[in-house]
Structure 1
Amino acid sequence: MTNFLDKTQWQHLVAGVTGGVVSALVLHPLDLAKIRLQVNEGTGVIACRPKTTGTIQTLYEIVQCRGLRGLYLGFTPNAIGAGSSWGLYFFFYESLKRFAQRGDKTKSLTTNQYLTFAALSGVITLSIVNPIWVIKTRLCLQYEKVTKSFPKSQITNPSLVIHSQSTWHALHNLWIHEGFAGLYRGYVPGLFGVSHGAIQFMFYEHFKNSYNTRYRGRSVSEKLSAVEYLTFSSTSKLIAAVITYPYQVIRSRMQDQHRKYDGVTDVIRQLWRLVSFYFKFN
């Protein structure tokens, strides 16, 4: 175990945390709009739910009601979740990869090994940070139209009674009203989402290694330029996003405090009644 830890690339942990926080800071408004669109039926079933159907319209409505600060509703758990997720993911992934390479950084692993290590890293990370993602989703779904006169007949979840304003309050209310099970809402579809990171890293490693060995004629351990990193990482991210996006819709709906579903199959059944899985892919 000591030898295993000695080979861990700690810089990947720091880089992952930093990158996760920075990306959350820059992209949170779009993430906020994405979550709201993912759960929006556009049918008026939920009285407090806006009927907006586009990203720009959703962001405009938030700014109109809350000001520019409203674009960062739920930012704190997003920053914590993104930073810890990417930091832990890189940490476990690089640890497993170094362990398999037995100290030889120039050793190229198989596609199945990359896929397995990425999947294992994703499962471990999700098990740790899933509660943070539940809180993030619920803070993002604090709608501007919710009032004190909100009809009790529309309340399907006790935690909705208290209009949470902070990460701590949301976590406290979630634990009090829903217990341990509430902290892990959306965990099952999240496991399917692990394939996102696995697919992304599999393609990334394949692109990087093929580029280094076949095109540049050098070792797989050679570092890439900033442009090369950006090209391979963005391409692999796009491929993974297109393949796995449906799970994000399912997870967001299961974590939504305004609706109650009887598991993953119930979410899928109701989704197919409304739109295809990719209808709201922006």
Structure 2
Amino acid sequence: MYLCICSSHTNPVWVTKTRLVLQYNADPSRKQYKGMMDALVKIYRHEGIPGLYRGFVPGLVGTSHAALQFMTYEGLKREQNKYKKMPSESLLSPLEYITMAAISKIFAVAVTYPYQVVRARLQDQHNNYSGIVDVIQRMWSNEGIEGFYKGMVPNLVRVIPACCITFLVFENVSRLLLGEYH
């Protein structure tokens, strides 16, 4: 529920960010934005509230990303301890935590990345889509499955190191606070 409320408040920012990133001078008749506030005002004036909420539904799908990642991470930890014939809460090595964090992030991204592409296309001011189904149909017919994963590798290169560090720090701080280091 919290993530849905957060998405409803941040979607106009995502639309603005996408529009600012995708603006270029190929077509001078297209709206050009001078900055965030200018973009927000122009989007609202020309497209109303619906313009600020383009891509909102795919954004809601994105709230499942963290759930998939944590579920996978915790499952990998349990399976690793089972494989090692250790209690499920046993301390693992830093390399094991890093590996599980990376695998869980790759899995969550692979499952949820297409929503980001669909959302970005809905927010693109250079194309007119009638909705989510139109985006999906056009992407599928013009680009195939690859179209839904454009930019995923650079995204993974960006997010995996942060994810690994976050999970490693989380595990170590949790153990420290619980007094479980020996």
From 58, 82, 96, the equivalent of 1:113 is 96
Answering whether residue 36 of structure 2 is matched by residue 71 of structure 1, we say no
Match of 1:218 in 2: 179
Match of 1:23 in 2: 6
**Cα 1:48–1:21 shift into 2, 3 Å:** farther
**Cα 1:179–1:59 shift into 2, 3 Å:** same
Match of 2:66 in 1: 86
Q: Structure 2: how far apart are the matches of 1:206 and 1:110? A: 12
Match of 2:15 in 1: 32
In 1, are the aligned partners of 2:20 and 2:35 still within 8 Å (CA)? yes
From 37, 44, 67, the equivalent of 1:56 is 37
Which runs of 5 or more structure 1 residues have no equivalent in the other structure?
1-17, 147-159, 221-282
Answering whether residue 158 of structure 2 is matched by residue 193 of structure 1, we say yes
Match of 1:170 in 2: 135
Kindly provide the amino acid, as one letter, of the partner of residue 6 in structure 2: S
**Cα 1:114–1:177 shift into 2, 3 Å:** same
Q: CA RMSD in A?
A: 2.7
Q: C-alpha displacement at 1:118, in angstroms?
A: 1.6
**Cα 1:48–1:113 shift into 2, 3 Å:** farther
Q: C-alpha displacement at 1:129, in angstroms?
A: 2.4
1:152-185 deviations in whole A, cap 9, x for unaligned? xxxxxxxx4xx21211111011112222222222
SS state of the match for residue 218, structure 1? coil
1:135-164 deviations in whole A, cap 9, x for unaligned? 1110011x2xx6xxxxxxxxxxxxx4xx21
Match of 1:203 in 2: 166
In 1, are the aligned partners of 2:78 and 2:88 still within 8 Å (CA)? yes
**TM-score (norm. length: structure 2):** 0.80
Which runs of 5 or more structure 2 residues have no equivalent in the other structure?
none
Kindly provide the amino acid, as one letter, of the partner of residue 54 in structure 1: G
**What number of residue pairs does the alignment pair up?**
178
In 2, are the aligned partners of 1:62 and 1:71 still within 8 Å (CA)? yes
1:192-243 deviations in whole A, cap 9, x for unaligned? 1341xx5245235415633652xx46348xxxxxxxxxxxxxxxxxxxxxxx
Q: Which moved more, 1:88-97 or 1:201-210?
A: 201-210
Q: C-alpha displacement at 1:74, in angstroms?
A: 0.8
Answering whether residue 118 of structure 2 is matched by residue 139 of structure 1, we say no
**Cα 1:212–1:128 shift into 2, 3 Å:** closer
